[in-house]
Structures are given as C-alpha cells and as structure tokens.
Structure 1
Amino acid sequence: MPFSAAKPIPVLVSGALGRMGREVIKAIFTTADCKLVAAVDTSPGSEGKDIGLELGLGETDITVTSDLEGSLCLISQSVRNDQPPNGAVIVDFTHPSAVFEHTRTAIAYGVHPVIGTTGLSPSQINELAIFAEKASIGSAVIPNFSVGMVLLQQAAAAAARFYDHAELTELHHNQKADAPSGTCIKTAELMEELGKNFNSTDVEEHESLAGSRGGLRSSGLRLHSIRLPGLVAHQEVMFGANGETYTLKHNTINRSAYMPGVLLAIRKVRSLPGLVYGLERLI
C-alpha cells in the first residue's frame, strides 16, 4: 500500500524552532503520509505561538509548548487503540545534555524516537537499545541523515582495509555544542570494525599547543573539529601512504539535504524491533 493511502504518521517535533526542527516541520507539511501533531521547544517567548505562523506556513491548530512529557502522554493516548505499526513518532533535534532523557521518556510512553541530536555516548546508546528492545519500541539514533554521508562512510570503511594511516576532520557551524560530531565518531567506528590500529609512527610527537593534533582514539585514528560561522556540516577523511594520499569529502550546503533521510526514518522506525544506530541500517 502506498504511504499516501495509509493513515498519516503522527509526528511530534522536539526542538521545533531550531534550525533542523524548522526544516523537519516544513518537510512534514509537504508530505501526505506524515502529520505534525505537536511542536515542542523551550525558546524564550515561544510558548503558545502557532507553529505554522512562526515558520511561514500559515495558521495551524498546533501551538508551541515546552512540555515534552505532557505532549508525549497526549500523543500516546491518541494512538493507543491503533494496531502496530501505527504508533506515533518523535523527531528530536535538541541538545546533547537533554537527548538521553528525551529518548528514554519517548520509549517509556510508547512513542517511537527518531533522534538526530548527537552527543549520546556508546554506553547511553547501549542502554537505550536495551530499553527499546524490552519495550518493543522501534527507535533510530541517526548521527547524520544525509545519504551522501552514508556513502562516504561506506567508502571510508572500505578504504581502511588498504591504508594504515588516516585522519578525520569535521567542520560545523559555531552553534554546534558537541565535538567531535556524532557523524565523525560514527565514521571512525565503521573504519575501526576491521580491528586494526592506525597511524603507527617512529617519531615521538610533541604538541607545543595541547590538542593541536586532534582527539586520539584507541585505534590511533585522530579526529579534528572546526567550528566557524558560515559553515553547515562538512567532513573529510584523508588516507596516506607512500607517495600518495586519498581523500573522501562531503559537504552539506543546505539542511534540506537531510530531509529525505529524516522522512525515511519516520516511515521505517515504527516497524523496527528495537533500536538502530545509523542511517545505513535503514537504507
């Protein structure tokens, strides 16, 4: 059955007035198979404002609220008589300090989380995976919703088989709170699945300025973070060998690039048996 012929997926957006939240809501309004049912944001002065008017989409019946748990409760009650996989979905683009509790609370209320906020630690992701499996709530933690980035990560993992030296650099706008980015960490994790060590050296390195060589992972991979206004999201993986370098690079020019991946996750998360980590698990 085509998506448009089914009951629209009820979606709550947390971080509704943020850069990504705004794009997600606009994307939802352009699709027939998704329906915005709540907009949560804690920006000062936003409480009670019509989300459609705030985003230039025209007047709607949905007002901005700061009460995430209350919204999750209401939404879970509204779909309690629906048969699986017809539950509600929350898309979260908020802050690393809040995302773990947001995700756990959503699962507790039976609302399927699609998490774009980065900053979750491996132990937190593992804890959420266990909780989601026990609750039988499909969940998705997606460090990056770009299909192009997924392709870069797959290429980096393949290249890591042939190169023993590599460093990763990620560049983002200066409003990003966490460093390195979750996308960069995910790329390194995929390269490390080979179980090999990188960047052996016969030189004893010394930093005259602490951190100038980037963050060092146990595998030997080094991750570098740059934060500047004017940037959106960019990543480079550079491999080196005798007489050559091999560089993989991805640039996000506009946040609209993420929307096909966000909508894909919304459509698939309700059918998952538990939590998945990374867009590649859904493609």
Structure 2
Amino acid sequence: MSDIKVAVLGAGGRMGTQACAAVEAADGLELVARLGRGDEVSAETLAGADVAVDFTVPAVTEANVHAVLDAGAHAVVGTTGWDDASRGRVAAHLAELSPRGQGGTGALGVLIAPNFGLSAVLAMTFAAKAARYFESAEVVELHHPNKVDAPSGTARHTAAAIAAARAEAGRGPSPDATESGWDARGADVDGVRVHAVRLRGLVAHEEILFGNEGEQLVIRQDSFDRASFMPGVLLAIRSVVSRPGLTVGLEHVLDLS
C-alpha cells in the first residue's frame, strides 16, 4: 500500500511544526507540502496531498477546508473556533461533491478534532458518561495566554456532550441562585457553565466538575507538551481517508465502546 501524502497548513506555527516532524517520522506517511501564513491553498500548493492538516487560526480555517476539498484532498482540522454554522457549510460542501470526490480517490472526508490529546478525548468521553448522574456540572479550561479564542473548542465540545447526556436523562438545569454578576459565571454552552483561564506557563488543561449532595467528581486532564497531541494527529490522518463526510471529534475513531 502506498504512503499517505500529507500537507500541513500553518506549518510555521507551534502545532504545525510538531505535526510536520511527526509526519516525517511516521511509517506510511509522506510530507509533501508545508504551507505557511499567506500561502494559497490550492491543488498546486498541496502538491498532490491525500490529506491536508490545518493548524492555522480561526479566521481562515473554514476557507482553508473548502479550498482543500476543492483540491480533491481530505482534511484534518485542529484549529478551533468552529460553530454549527461553519460545520454545516463544510457538511454541505462535502454533500455537493461527486461520490468519487474531486481527485478520483473516493468520497472525501473532513475530521475536525477539538483536541488531539488522547487523555483529553478520554476525559470528554468519561464526562459524557458521568453527566446523567449528577445534579451540577461545570467546566474549567486553562490555556496559555497566546490562545485567541475562549472558551476553547475542547471545552465547548465537552460542555455540549454533557448537556446532551443530561437532556437525554431528563435532567434539568444545574441549580444556580445567581441574580447578579452573571459575567463572573463564565460562558453558557448549552446550559453548562464554562470558565476560561489564560495563564503564562500553561499549555492545555481541563477540569470537569460534577456535584451531588454530599459528593463531587472531578475529571482533570493536562497536556504539558504539544508532542502529546501528535499520536492523535497521526491517527486522524490515517483514519480520515476511509471516513467520508464530516466527523467531529477524535473519539469517533477510537475504540471507546
């Protein structure tokens, strides 16, 4: 079987640099293009890539994905800032493409991962399973101060999964008697409060807090180095070529049954 050809968008950034090195060191993958800030995304600049990995910024990531699809390549996206509308536009674009894709290599796929850290994916999965059993639930995410969006994509994904599990279980809103100072209560993501911390020295961390009368469950995940994200990136690259359509969350390609 031939190697999967990979292009990295945002190759000059911290995550992009790590991704390039990981692809180059991995069996069965070949790095064919490094695109930096201002580089056009096209079939020519992608240099025949089967998969393009986007580690750019929220302002350009959706446009990049559409350009990657138009070029006939699959996309793996680690950039945050996505919402229902932007994901919907990508899903519609995928639906418009011919069953054989634009490059004759089969139906195209896009995998958007709010977090590539395996510990983070497991924490989100555990939180979704625990959510139905607790009266209260809140999320705290902690990141380096250079992060441009808040709350993080990981925290939003976590909160949305918690909210869905609570709704399925028939649980109402978490108890909260707050009458003033709502700005101190964090963002509201589908009814789950999410708090964002930006602090020098941090990389990426999340605490999910659950409470009942007389008990508390805390799920904590810490990423101390961006190298910890690379196994998930490589897994996503290898998986997306056989997953047509839109996939949101790395948990869908892990065996977490």
Q: CA deviation at 1:137?
A: 1.1
User: Given that residues 118 and 182 in structure 1 are in contact (C-alpha distance below 8 angstroms), is that contact kept between their aligned partners in structure 2?
Assistant: yes
User: Given that residues 160 and 189 in structure 2 are in contact (C-alpha distance below 8 angstroms), is that contact kept between their aligned partners in structure 1?
Assistant: no
Amino acid at match of 2:187: G
Q: Specify every segment of 5 or more residues in structure 2 that has no aligned partner in the other structure, as ranges.
A: 98-106
User: Given that residues 78 and 113 in structure 2 are in contact (C-alpha distance below 8 angstroms), is that contact kept between their aligned partners in structure 1?
Assistant: yes
| Superposition map of 1:42-61 within 5 A | 42=37
Q: Once the two structures are superposed, what CA deviation does each residue of 1:91-127 show, in whole Å capped at 9, x if it has no partner? A: 0111001111011111111111100000011111122
Corresponding position: 1:205 with 2:179: yes
Amino acid at match of 1:228: L
User: Given that residues 156 and 189 in structure 2 are in contact (C-alpha distance below 8 angstroms), is that contact kept between their aligned partners in structure 1?
Assistant: no
Q: CA deviation at 1:8?
A: 1.4
User: Separation in 1 of the partners of 2:113 and 2:55?
Assistant: 11
Corresponding position: 1:94 with 2:56: yes
In the other structure, the counterpart of 1:14 is 9
User: Separation in 1 of the partners of 2:74 and 2:33?
Assistant: 14
Q: CA deviation at 1:138?
A: 1.0
In the other structure, the counterpart of 2:32 is 37
**TM-score normalised by structure 2 residue count:** 0.89
Length, aligned pairs only = 241
User: Given that residues 133 and 273 in structure 1 are in contact (C-alpha distance below 8 angstroms), is that contact kept between their aligned partners in structure 2?
Assistant: no
Corresponding position: 1:110 with 2:105: no
Amino acid at match of 2:113: I
In the other structure, the counterpart of 1:234 is 205
User: Separation in 1 of the partners of 2:201 and 2:17?
Assistant: 18
In the other structure, the counterpart of 2:100 is none
Cα RMSD (Å): 1.5
Q: Once the two structures are superposed, what CA deviation does each residue of 1:191-234 show, in whole Å capped at 9, x if it has no partner? A: 12231433133x34311xx6211112342x10000111210000
Q: What is the identity percentage for the equivalent residue pairs of Structure 1 and Structure 2? A: 37
**TM-score normalised by structure 1 residue count:** 0.81
User: Given that residues 133 and 275 in structure 1 are in contact (C-alpha distance below 8 angstroms), is that contact kept between their aligned partners in structure 2?
Assistant: no
User: Separation in 2 of the partners of 1:102 and 1:95?
Assistant: 10
List, as ranges, runs of 4+ consecutive aligned residues in structure 1 with deviation greater than 6 Å: none
Q: Once the two structures are superposed, what CA deviation does each residue of 1:235-271 show, in whole Å capped at 9, x if it has no partner? A: 0001111112110000001111111110011111111
Q: CA deviation at 1:155?
A: 1.1
2:144 aligned residue (149, 155, 173): 173
Change (3 A) 1:118 1:189: same
| Structure label with greater radius of gyration | 1
User: Given that residues 15 and 94 in structure 1 are in contact (C-alpha distance below 8 angstroms), is that contact kept between their aligned partners in structure 2?
Assistant: yes
Amino acid at match of 2:173: F
Amino acid at match of 2:225: N
Q: Specify every segment of 5 or more residues in structure 1 that has no aligned partner in the other structure, as ranges.
A: 1-5, 43-65, 79-86
User: Separation in 2 of the partners of 1:258 and 1:269?
Assistant: 17
